[in-house]
Amino acid sequence: MPSEKKEEQYLKEREEFFKMLPKLNRRQFLKVAMASAAVALAKNQFPPHSFQLVEAVEAKQGGTEVKFRFAYISDTHLYERKLNERFVRAALKAVQDVNALDPQPDFVLFGGDLAQLGQAEELKLGKEILSELKPKVYMMVGEHDWYLDLGEKWIELFGKPYYSFDHKGVHFIVLNSVLVDDYWTEAKMSPMDRMKFMAQLDNPNGRPFTVGRGYGDVGKKQFEWLKQDLAKVSRDTPIVVFSHSPLYKYYKPWNFWTDDAEEVQALLRPFRNVTVIHGHTHQPVFHRIGNINFYGMLSTAWPWPYAPTGLPKLTIKMNRADPFDQFDGTGDGTVEVLANGKANKIYNLWSREPMKVTARYLESGGREEVPPLPIDPSF
């Protein structure tokens, strides 16, 4: 049916619906309202922003008590406001989403790549936008924030690039996982040359990300700190790690990869419940290795396609993103930390239905609590 006729039919049905409403009693009104909502949801006529409702319903159905929730915003890739209003608008939208949650999350994680080219004005704009969030914000650094001045401005604005904290019986660890070997000094690159190389998906001079290596001794110091930090924690304490790159090896040509991932995983292996939340890949991606569940975060700026090889087998691809819809394939999300120490991930896709991936799905090898399968799979 031509779009004009669809619109005409919709307006006619809406007019008839509103004419009917005054004639209904309360019970009839609720019945009609619920039926209308179900039809609208089925046709994707509602923007799926109300993930408060989804959480409330699923908390009753999950069988395991939700101990607390936190929200995340990631990969905003801000340019200066005068250069790109689009990414600014998306970051503001994420802040509004989180501030509208009821109940409010206990805190917000920012997942890295606040800026596009690590420039002071980009980072300051990001700090200004995130300052509007009602809950406390924990910051993580990405390579786009780091490689113009090797983190100098980011540290001035946000503090240490790796640290830990405890919250309601869970030990949280924030890592700088974007450290690479020095390929710029010998090549006599300027700071901006280095930054622009690092900002490419296919960096011809690229080196794989690491946690415990990289230029100088910055990685060695971090790895030693991580070992000492974990040595103080009971093996029964749930651990949640935040890293910008995935702490496993997904696809090296795009640096969806952490080269010393196995060494970090070995430090986490003795603990009963470990969850890793990462940014960088801009897509729903989930994985399990040994005792560790991994969840990728959405970007507010754009969705990457799925890499041609290496996608973790448990990942269910999201539907192909509409290139003419700025918000399709992007979004923010929440994480439910359960009373048993495990964590479920809710992807709040801005132009689609929310997608929930439970710890049970990963731990059952994909046999239980399977998320919805895609209708139009992405690349």
In this predicted structure, what is the pLDDT of residue 201?
86
- Indicate the pTM of the whole model: 0.83
In this predicted structure, what is the pLDDT of residue 282?
97
In this predicted structure, what is the pLDDT of residue 203?
80
Q: What is the pLDDT of residues 257-314, one digit of tens each?
A: 999 999 999 999 999 999 999 999 999 999 999 999 999 999 999 999 999 999 999 9
In this predicted structure, what is the pLDDT of residue 204?
78
Q: What is the pLDDT of residues 356-374, one digit of tens each?
A: 999 999 999 999 999 988 8
In this predicted structure, what is the pLDDT of residue 15?
55
Below-70 pLDDT ranges, the chain:
1-63, 377-379
3-state secondary structure the chain: CCHHHHHHHHHHHHHHHHHHHHHCCHHHHHHHHHHHHHHHHHCCCCCCCCHHHHHHHHHHHCCCCEEEEEEEECCCCECCCCCCHHHHHHHHHHHHHHHHCCCCCCEEEECCCCECCCCHHHHHHHHHHHCCCCCEEEECCCHHHHCCCCCHHHHHHHCCCCEEEEECCEEEEECCCCECCCCCCCCCCCHHHHHHHHCCCCCCCCCCEECCCCCCCHHHHHHHHHHHHHHCCCCCCCEEEEECCCCCEEEHHHCEEECCHHHHHHHHCCCCCEEEEECCCCCCCEEEECCEEEEECCCCCCCCCCCCCCCCCCCCCCECCCCCCCCCCCEEEEEEEECCCCEEEEEEECCCCCEEECHHHHHCCCCCCCCCCCCCECC
In this predicted structure, what is the pLDDT of residue 3?
39
